[in-house]
Structures are given as structure tokens and as C-alpha cells.
Amino acid sequence: MKAFYKSPLSRITDRKLLFAILFALSLGFIANSIASAQGPTPTDDDVNRIAKQLYCPVCESTPLDVCPTEACRQWRDLIRTMLTQGKSEAEIKQYFVEQYGARVLAEPPNRLVAYLVPAVAILLGALLLFRGFQMWMKPSLTESSAVDSEREAKPSQDPYVARLEEELKKRK
Amino acid sequence: MTESSVAAPRRGVPIWVQIIIWVFLVGLLAIVALGLKRAQQGTVQPGQVIKNFTLPLYSGYDLGGKSEIQLQDLRGKVVVINFWASWCKPCEQEAAEMQQAWTEYEPTGKVVFLGVDYVDTEPQARVYLKKFGINYTNGPDLATRISQYFRIKGVPETYFVDQDGVLQYVQIGPFTSIDQIRAQIDPLLK
């Protein structure tokens, strides 16, 4: 039986090959991990999806996605950079709030309170005003009609007025 | 007693309704008045004591190794507070003069320059600072708290605060020469 024998040269070549494979695998792993940390390149639509939810304090009433100023362009670039870094929409918005204040948000952070409180206040105010006017109007109407009927029922006590009313009746 | 007087209807509005309506109306008027007053006020005026604020500093632009600075720590020194932004073209007109003035006054140890970066992004701010060779203390106006306190109308604006923390002069718009800056600082040092 012939023994399997490898020459020292072939052993060195095998080791080199193994090292090369391991090296290539490590490089591939590192490259892959870097790529996954960076995330895909964001499109303009990705940037604008977040930008339209923000307002730059310098250009009030203009959403960031359509704002033409240099400041807004820089903000959009920053959003793009953060998306490339793999930051989520919530993280980016939070960063902008920390840096520039909550007023940069198109919608208030606590939506329920922000929309509910004014609506309730307006409804309550309207109800109070309605009730108020109702109470103001009712007594005066009732009072005036009561006075009129009282006048009709009761003949005047003043002799001059009584005579005048009598004369008027005759002329009718 | 007549029948009509017996069945007399209730007169007026209950007092609690009146109170609520008046409180509501007065509150509304107060909010409108405060808003109008604030809009007409303009920037903080000379003679006012400037309240303390904290300015976080860009790394490399700190003061004595501190990563943030409080105005009250600078009592005893003249403080020049300059609001600027990298996107602001008029700011570029005065950038060189501001740096030159800082170079002049820094050795005295009696004057501090604070650059407050308004609504800016740090990478662009750093490009701007490097471009104009600015090396005095600088940092971002986080959440625009400082600019809101000063009620700035735009950038650049520069505020000169004396050794007692009292605002002495407000420059709206850029300086066009270093003499204009000297003219504000020198009298405060006498």
C-alpha cells in the first residue's frame, strides 16, 4: 500500500491557499458589514418624504421640501446624509427637534391634545354663548309681551289719557 | 299681586355663566395683546440685564477647555455675542472683521467673543468657520433658545454686553469695518 505523502512545497501552497481564502472571506465580511451600516443611497423622494414634514424657522410657512433657500437646501442635505447613515424617519425628526426646537415640525408632537383642546374649547365657548344669548333674549320677550297684554287689559287711570283713548275710539 | 308678577320669568344670565364668558374673553384678549406686544418689541434693548444662557460649543471652538459656556461665568468681561449662519451671505461681509477684532482683543483677556450659530448644520458651519479662519468660541443655538430670548430679527446681529451683564449696544446687520467694532468695545473697557 502506497502511503499518501505530500511534499513540503505543496503543504506551504495549501497553507497559503487557506490563508488567502480566509483573508478573502474576512474582507468580504468587513465590506458587507460596512455596506449594511451605510444603507442604500436615498432618493430625492425619500428625502422629500421627511422634508415635507419639517419647516425651517428662517422661511416660515414654507415646507422644507419646496423651500428654495440655502438654509433649507442644507437641511435637505443633512436629511440625505442621515438616511445614508441608516437613521430612521423618527430619529431624523427627533434630531431636528433637538437642534432647532419643536416648531420645525409640521404637525405638533402630541396630536391628540393639540387638536382636541382647541376643538373642545371652541365647542364649549359656542355652547356658553348660545346659552347666554338664549337667557338674555327670553326674559325680555316675555316681559314685553306681558306688559303689552297688561296695558290692553287695564284701562288707563290717567283721566287725560282715558279721554284721549275715548276720542280715538270714537274716530275709528 | 297680579298674575303676571307671580309668573315673572328669570332675569339675566346666571353669574357662573357670566364669569366664564368674561374670563374667556379677557384671556383671549390678553393672548392677542401679548402677541402684538412681542411682535412690536423688537430685539432686547440696551440697558437690559441679559439673563443667563448656556451655549454648547463646537469641538475645537471651546473656551478654556469647556464644552459649553454660561453667560454668567463671563461676568467681569465684555462679551460680544454674534449671531450668524453659514447660509447667510451678509454674515460673510463681517466675518473677517470679527476675527480680526478677536485677534486684537484676545490678548487683553478682558473681552470674550461668542459666535452663536443660528439654524445651521454643523458640517456647513465648520466649513464656514474654516473658510474665514475664525477661531473664537462658537456653538449652535440649540432649539433656537438664545435667539428667541434676544428676539433677533435675522442674521447677522451682534450684541455687546458689559462687565455687569448689561446690554450696551445692538448691531443689526453686518459690520463694514473693524473700526465700528472697536467703537463699541473700547468705551466699555475704560
* Element of type H or E holding B158: strand B157-161
CA distance B158 to B37: 23
pLDDT tens digit string along B16-52?
A: 778 888 888 888 899 999 988 887 888 899 999 999 9
Q: Say what the pLDDT of residue B1 is.
A: 45
Whether residue A128 is contained in a domain is answered as yes
Q: Say what the pLDDT of residue A23 is.
A: 66
Whether residue A127 is contained in a domain is answered as yes
Task: Answer yes or no: do B152 and B102 share one domain.
Answer: yes
Whether residue A9 is contained in a domain is answered as no
Whether residue A38 is contained in a domain is answered as no
**Exposure string over B64-90, b if 16+ CB within 10 A, otherwise e:** eeeeebebeebeebbbbbbbbbbbbee
Task: Answer yes or no: do A50 and A81 share one domain.
Answer: yes
- ipTM of the complex, rounded to two decimals: 0.77
**Percent of chain B scoring above 70 in pLDDT:** 94
State whether A128 and B20 contact (CB < 8 Å): yes
Task: Answer yes or no: do A100 and A128 share one domain.
Answer: no
Whether residue A144 is contained in a domain is answered as yes
Task: Answer yes or no: do B58 and B37 share one domain.
Answer: no
Q: Which residues of B touch A118 (CB under 8 A)?
A: none
The residue range of the domain holding A166 is 111-171
Whether residue B135 is contained in a domain is answered as yes
pLDDT bucket at B138, cuts 50 / 70 / 90 = very high
State whether A71 and B14 contact (CB < 8 Å): no
Q: Tell me the CA end-to-end span of chain A in Å, nearest whole number.
A: 154
How many domains does chain A divide into?
A: 2
Task: Answer yes or no: do B99 and B34 share one domain.
Answer: no
Q: Is A98 on the interface with B (CB under 8 A)?
A: yes
pLDDT in tens, chain A (172 residues): 444 455 555 555 666 666 666 766 665 555 444 444 456 789 999 999 999 999 988 887 899 999 999 999 999 999 999 999 999 999 999 999 999 998 899 988 777 887 888 888 888 887 887 888 788 877 655 555 555 666 665 666 788 888 888 888 888 7
How many domains does chain B divide into?
A: 2
Task: Answer yes or no: do A94 and A115 share one domain.
Answer: no
Q: Which residues of A touch B86 (CB under 8 A)?
A: 74
Q: Say what the pLDDT of residue A136 is.
A: 82
Q: Give residue B89's identity as a one-letter amino acid code.
A: K
Average pLDDT, stretch B129-153?
Answer: 96
| Cα atoms found within 13 Å of the Cα of residue B146, Cβ hemisphere only | 26
The residue range of the domain holding B131 is 54-189
Task: Answer yes or no: do B93 and B65 share one domain.
Answer: yes
Task: Answer yes or no: do A80 and A51 share one domain.
Answer: yes
State whether A99 and B140 contact (CB < 8 Å): yes
Q: Mean pLDDT over all residues of chain B? A: 92
Whether residue A164 is contained in a domain is answered as yes
How far is A165 from chain B, CA to nearest CA, in Å? Answer: 24
Whether residue B158 is contained in a domain is answered as yes
CA distance B12 to A161: 33
| pLDDT for residue B172 is more than 90 | yes
Q: Say what the pLDDT of residue A110 is.
A: 77
Whether residue B142 is contained in a domain is answered as yes
Domain boundary among A104, A129, A155: A104
How far is A109 from chain B, CA to nearest CA, in Å? Answer: 15
Task: Answer yes or no: do B105 and B149 share one domain.
Answer: yes
Q: Tell me the CA end-to-end span of chain B in Å, nearest whole number.
A: 90
Q: Is A22 on the interface with B (CB under 8 A)?
A: no
Task: Answer yes or no: do B82 and B168 share one domain.
Answer: yes
How far is B2 from chain A, CA to nearest CA, in Å? Answer: 10
Is there a cis peptide before residue B9, judged by omega within 30 degrees of 0?
no
Q: Which residues of A touch B83 (CB under 8 A)?
A: none
Whether residue A21 is contained in a domain is answered as no
Task: Answer yes or no: do B62 and B140 share one domain.
Answer: yes
Of B173, B156, B178, nearest to B100 (Cα)? B178
CB nearest A150 (choices: B4, B17, B87): B4
CA distance A50 to A72: 13
Whether residue B117 is contained in a domain is answered as yes
Cα–Cα–Cα angle for B69, B71, B76, rounded to 5 degrees: 115
Task: Answer yes or no: do B65 and B20 share one domain.
Answer: no
Of A147, A128, A144, A132, nearest to B12 (Cα)? A132
Q: Helix, strand, or coil here: B69?
A: strand
Q: Say what the pLDDT of residue A76 is.
A: 95
Query: To probe the interface with A, which of B11, B92, B119, B120 has the most A CB atoms within 10 Å?
Result: B119
| Cα atoms found within 13 Å of the Cα of residue A113, Cβ hemisphere only | 3
